[in-house]
Chains A and B, each alone.
Chain A
């Protein structure tokens, strides 16, 4: 497809387990963003990749959260030792370049439930 693809669409995991969430950006997009949205809440920024620059990790809530982007394309968000408060929809977006002259397109998200 031509849009941002995220997998899985739903994930249920036990507290304390590690999870990996995947984002396939639109081909050719150099910027990639991760956000999360808890039930009934707004979008919370997590991390931003722009080309070969060091990622902006300022939104990661704890050291249990990490993300990587291999080959400038696919990105994986990893949450270690999941907690119930990690339950949320995790959204990925990509854009051709920096904000200001490009538009970010969002995927449909991964709904993570920690039980």
Chain B
């Protein structure tokens, strides 16, 4: 079973920041938080991952709380092409367990 819980769906206005939350209250000390997304009919695409510190790359930012029990993925300026299912996964040394994810709809 997935170790994360995410909202089933979210809407975001185009051009605004999309903030996708994830709860992982049972995360262990060495487990990383990964975010992937899946656009219809395509293979999952890596977005970002982190352990303790906040991370930023060209796609997104990852904010991890100090107790590491939750995190937020931030897409700073959402576009219509960001409409997808977003998966939050915690893992270390094993496979990726995908939950149902959050279906993000970016609206014009």
* Chain A interface residues (CB < 8 Å from chain B): 4, 33, 35, 42-45, 48, 56, 59, 91, 93, 98-101, 103-109
B42 touches A108 (CB 8 A): yes
Q: How many residues of B contact A (CB 8 A)?
A: 23
Q: Is the CB of B93 within 8 A of A100?
A: yes
Q: B residues within 8 Å of A by Cβ? A: 30-32, 34, 42-46, 49, 51, 87, 91-101
28 contacts between A and B (CB under 8 A): A4-B43, A35-B98, A42-B99, A42-B101, A43-B44, A43-B87, A45-B97, A48-B94, A48-B95, A59-B95, A93-B44, A93-B96, A98-B92, A98-B93, A98-B94, A99-B32, A99-B96, A100-B30, A100-B31, A100-B32, A100-B91, A100-B92, A101-B32, A103-B49, A104-B46, A106-B43, A106-B44, A108-B43
